[in-house]
Amino acid sequence: MAKIMGKNPQLVDGYRKLHIFAEVIKYFETLSKGIKRLKNHFYDGGRFSETEARQFPS
């Protein structure tokens, strides 16, 4: 990685932080989908739609 970045430690550190930030965003997107799924589950009287069942296989 350092060779690609020209042995610039700031670039390597920036890339690492960006990667961590992307992981955090992905985590919250997944969490948000789960919360929406649960909310819809309870509003529909405890039934999941076919689309949701395909998105989140048991």
Dist CA 58 CA 39 (whole Å): 17
47's tokens: 């039934």
pLDDT at 58 over 60: no
DSSP, collapsed to helix, strand or coil, labels residue 40 as: helix
Residue 52: which pLDDT band, with cuts at 50, 70 and 90? low
Q: What is the pLDDT of residues 1-42, one digit of tens each?
A: 555 656 677 777 888 888 888 899 999 998 888 888 877 767
Dist CA 42 CA 36 (whole Å): 10
